[in-house]
Amino acid sequence: MNSLDDPRLFQKYDPEGMLARIHELPAQCQQAWQTAMDFDLPPDYAEIDRVVVLGMGGSAIGGDLVRILALSEARQPIIIHRDYGLPAFVDDRTLVIASSYSGNTEETLSAFEQVLETRSKKLAITTGGRLKEMAEQRNVPVSVFDYPAQPRAALGFSFLPVLCFLQKLGIISDKSADLAEAVRVLEELSKKIDEKVPLSRNQAKQLAGKLYGSLVVIYGADILAEAAHRWKTQINENSKAWACYEVFPELNHNATVGYELPRELADKIRVVLLRSPSFHRRVQLRYKVTGELLDRAGVKYDFVDSEGDCPLSQMMSLVLFGDYVSYYLAILYRVDPTPVAAINYLKEQLAEG
């Protein structure tokens, strides 16, 4: 039996149930959306010129996905702040959303402390912790959710509430129909690539096998730029493996020149190109020509196409596909996808320092 078709390996290397969290993504998205729809925002929060999302890691990627989706219609810029402190432009016409799964993320708390001293509109999204305490002490609205998991496995709760809140404030159009389509697409896709589907018919398992032993580079564009980012971080955290990501068309102005050297790396790198039929025709041509350049350099690559009609479905279908691939890659590497020992060690050393 192929290792990715052996249920005993999933039980052995996934004792904390990361696979179950991946299964739950469609339902999680639906739950997160409804929670946000039921949440009341102060009326004056619509009077803003910009949105700043504070977050790190799995709590920040949701803001990235929102930013990409909103680019084509939002008149207010959406900025994701991954750092200590606060940008100087934050003022009374800024909505600042602090997103932290644990509520104790050091960088986010540092920025939120400064936010509290400004006249900006403020909002927090968390399961609890210090962020919830600080917000409640200053009468800042807090959207609290309960979903026991690693922060990266709670993507729906860092992504869809922010999207829903922007809809409520009139910054973007109504996404309810798109959300319903996306949930259907995710449910259908999961049935095609979950662990019960054998390797011979499972594209996610097949791709994980190709990526095994390689340094993975993910390419994306437009609405899939941050999906590529998500693939990179999921391979890092779930598979415990090196990964990088790049974005079209920028990568054609630098990365493609670097395919030549060192020559011995060509056999160690595998590129995954995430595609959508909605891409600008010139970007679609760039994908084709970039494949030709990779062929010339002797670098192996694979195309993975999105599913669904609306941008939200196309984005989330590839997010889910990448989650499964990173999980199967962890099983091939014989590692538990849930723990993040290096991050925990870093936090311990920072606490001592």
Tell me: do 205 and 156 sit in the same domain: no
Of the candidates 24, 107, 237, 307, the residue annotated as catalytic is 237
What pLDDT, on the 0 to 100 scale, is given for residue 145? 97
How confident is the model at residue 3, as a pLDDT?
87
Question: Is position 253 annotated as part of the catalytic site?
Answer: yes
Asked if residue 120 and residue 82 are part of one domain, the reply reads yes
pLDDT recorded at residue 260? 94
Residue 268 shares a structural domain with residue 203 = yes
Residue 158 is part of which domain span?
39-174
Given the residues 196, 253, 264, 352, the one annotated as active site = 253
Decide if 226 is catalytic. no
Whether residue 320 sits in one domain with residue 214: yes
pLDDT at 2: 74
pLDDT tens by residue, 33-82: 999 999 999 999 999 999 999 999 999 999 999 999 999 999 999 999 99
Kindly tell me the burial class for residue 158, based on how many C-beta atoms sit within 10 Å of its own C-beta (0-12, 13-18, 19 or more): buried
Single-letter amino acid, residue 79: I
**Domain boundary pick from 144, 174, 204:** 174
232: in domain: yes
| pLDDT given for residue 170 in this prediction | 96
| Active-site position among 23, 168, 300, 347 | 347
Active site residue 205: no
Do 318 and 219 sit in the same domain of this protein?
Answer: yes
Q: CA angle 325-331-334, nearest 5°?
A: 145
The pLDDT value recorded for residue 235 is 98
What's the pLDDT at 353?
81
User: Rounded CA gap, 72 and 223, in Å?
Assistant: 10
Q: Which residues of the chain have pLDDT under 70?
A: 1
